[in-house]
Structures are given as C-alpha cells and as structure tokens.
Amino acid sequence: MSLFLSLLSAIAAVAPPPVEGVWVDKGLPGNWAGTSAVLSEAGVDHVLPCLLYGVSPAYPSSLVPVSEAFPPDTGWANDLIAECSARGIEVHAWVILWKANRADGVFLDSLAREGRLQVDCSGDTLPWLCPTDPRNLALEEALVLELLDRFPLDGVQFDYVRFPGAESCCCQGCRDRFARSTGLSPGAWPEDVLPGGRFHREFGLWRADRITHALVLLSMAAGGRGAAVSAAVLPDRADALGCGQDWSLWGRSGVLDRIYFMNYFRTAAELDSVISGQADGLTCGTPAVCGLGTGIGRLEVSPEEARRQVETAIGAGFSGVCHFHLNQTLLRTLASAP
Ligand SMILES: [Zn+2]
C-alpha cells in the first residue's frame, strides 16, 4: 500500500461516525422498551432526558423540595436508562440551569427573600437564579453531583448556560460583585451598565466571564465523575453573547466534549443559510452537533425533510445531529429512516 493510501486509511480509521441524539422531556414518551428499540434501529446513539430543570430534579432530592410543577418521576428515569443502556444507547442528562419557574412556591419565595433571584433592568424579579451568586452556583453543582450519584449516566449536557437576555441581571448582588471584581464604581445603577452607560462594555464582559466561570466549574465537577460534558447553545453568536454565552471561547478552550447548536428550522434550505455563520464553532476544536427541530410540532418537519436536514448538517461539517424533541411524530420520522 502506498504511503498516501496508508494515510487515507488511517484518517478514515480515526474519523468517528456522526453521532445522533434525541432530547427527551421528563415523562415522555413512555414504553421505553419499545421506544429504545425504535431509536436503536434508527441509529440513535444517545438520548438526553431532562433530569434536572433549574432547581427541580426529576427525582426526590435531598437538597431541594419536591415541586408540584415538576414532580419527580424516578420510574420514567430508571426505565429510560435501563432500556437505552441495554441497547447500547448512551444516556446524557439534559440539565437546565438557573430556571426556577417550576420550583416549589415556598422555596421560590425563600430564594427571592435571600436575594438569589435575577432582577431585570426595570427592577422586576425573575424566576431565575442569579448565576453570579456563589450560593446558586454551589447549589447547581451539588444538584449535578447528586444526579450523577443517583443514576448511571454517560454524560451531562448543560442548557441555559446564560442569562435570559441582555436586560439582566441587575440585582444588588451583581452590582456589588461587578464593582468588587472590576474596581469600577457604577454610581447610577443599573443605568451605568445598560446600553449607552459608561460601564456597559465592561459589564457585558464581566457577565460573560461569570457564565463561563460557572460552566467551567460545573464541567469540572461532572467530568471529575467520569461524565462526558456538553452544552446546548444559541446558534447566533451575537444573540448568544448578548446573553453572556461565549460559546466560541468554550470551543477554543476545550472545556466541553461537544457543543450543540440549536438550529430549529422548517427546511434544509433555511438550515443551510445559517450554519455557515457557525464556522467558528465548527473549527474551534470542539466537536459541534447540529440540533434539529425535527420534533417541534409547529415546524411540521416531514420524514423526507428531516433526512435532508440531517444530510445538510453533516455535509456542513457537524459531528452529528440531535433531534428536538422526542414525541410520537419524531418516533415515526425516525422509524421511517432508511
Ligand atoms: Zn444578579
């Protein structure tokens, strides 16, 4: 064999095949023996069940109260993990950070009283933990470790690794921590850190740095337990940065095993028109997975269209795809895959 052919075969040998995942909302779709058989037959190699929604776990926790708005469903989680694992399908916990809108009401009130919830620039308190508050980061870390203790998981995926938008957080804690960290003194709060304010740029950098700090800490905690770590991100880089989500930096730094871009579109043509803007994410060293809206009812993605979107994503250089999210329609789509 010539050296050239040897090199080609060596490259082919090390290039991993595209991965294919599915996000799964808590409790869906049931019948995991049958569901896992369909997923396995379709080539799905990992599932991402929502096992932690902000501060509401999908199991009875020793750290936070049970919430009626997100009740534990340990039977669903155990069935999913047992059936998928038996078929060689990896299970990565889908962990939604910070959101407290499904937390127990009394617990939510206590978080508000302790000044741990975000406040937007209008002064309204939001049902989201302030991610720059060390107490909140410690709680999320403890919940992730509890989750890994409770279930045999292959990985953890962090979602909502960001602020809700550009208008938060303007809580008193953020004011104090920003001033202490930067040495700047925003006298007019929050005006000094809002668009047009004298510290707007510095505040944007600081909040992105705090989000990255949280991601690194949580990733190290999960990785220390042997879990693969990924994050789901907003695909538009400017939108993401506006929320403090610097995925380009995460990709270059190697803190994650994969980054999932949430590219939810009706057609492959629409998908194709935006993914070129993610070139930084595709070339920064961390494998990028293309999230597809193939299970979003309002997008009405047909099985043929789903196939075109998968081909478009892989053709653009993504390391795989992930379907959002599992329901009967998506199961039929996957079952019809050639
Ligand atoms: Zn805050």
**Residues lying with their CB under 5 A of ligand 1, a single-atom ion:** 130, 169, 171, 173-174
Q: How many angstroms separate the alpha carbon of residue 172 from the centre of ligand 1?
A: 7
CA of 168 to the centre of ligand 1 (A): 7
Choosing among 3.40.50.2300, 3.90.1150.10, 3.40.718.10, 3.20.20.80, the CATH entry for 18-335 is 3.20.20.80
- 49 φ, ψ to 5°? -75, 145
Question: Ligand 1 centroid to 100 CA: how many Å?
Answer: 14
**d(CA 189, ligand 1 centre) in Å:** 12
**Alpha carbon 259 to its chain's center:** 8
- Tell me, in angstroms, the distance from the centre of ligand 1 to residue 174's CA: 4
Q: How many whole angstroms from 158 Cα to the centroid of ligand 1?
A: 20
* Residue 269 CB burial class (10 angstroms; 0-12, 13-18, ≥19): exposed
Expressed in angstroms and rounded, the spacing between residue 84 Cα and the centre of ligand 1 is: 39
Q: What is the pTM of this model?
A: 0.94
**How far away, in angstroms, is 142 Cα from ligand 1 center?**
20
- What's the gap in Å between 117 CA and the centre of ligand 1? 7
Ligand 1 centroid to residue 132 C-alpha, Å: 6
Give me ligand 1 centre to Cα 171, in Å. Answer: 4
The alpha carbon of 53 and the centre of ligand 1 are apart by a number of angstroms equal to: 19
Q: For residue 179, how far is its CA from the centre of ligand 1 (angstroms)?
A: 12
The predicted pLDDT at position 14 comes to 60
Q: What pLDDT was estimated at residue 275?
A: 87
Point out the residues of the chain with pLDDT beneath 70.
Answer: 1-15, 277-283, 338
Q: What's the gap in Å between 119 CA and the centre of ligand 1?
A: 6
Bridge partners (DSSP) listed for residue 119: 125
The answer to whether residues 136 and 147 touch, using CB atoms and an 8 Å cutoff, is: no
Q: How far is the CA of 169 from the centre of ligand 1 (A)?
A: 4
> 31, 331 in Cβ contact below 8 A?
no
Closest among 246, 317, 322 to 282, alpha carbons compared: 317
Assess contact for 156 and 95: CB atoms under 8 A: yes
Which is it for strands 46-53 and 56-57: parallel, antiparallel or unpaired? antiparallel
HEC string of the chain?
CCHHHHHHHHHHHHCCCCEEEEEECCCCCCCHHHHHHHHHHCCCCEEEEEEEECCEECCCCCCCCCCCCCCCCHHHHHHHHHHHHHCCCEEEEEEECCECCCCCHHHHHHHHHCCCEEECCCCCEEEEECCCCHHHHHHHHHHHHHHHHHCCCCEEEEECCCCCCCCCCCCHHHHHHHHHHHCCCCCCCCHHHCCCCCCHHHHHHHHHHHHHHHHHHHHHHHHHCCCEEEEEECCCHHHHHHCCCCHHHHHHHCCCCEEEEEECCCCHHHHHHHHHHHHHHHHCCCCEEEEECCCCHHHCCCHHHHHHHHHHHHHCCCCEEEECCCCHHHHHHHHCCC
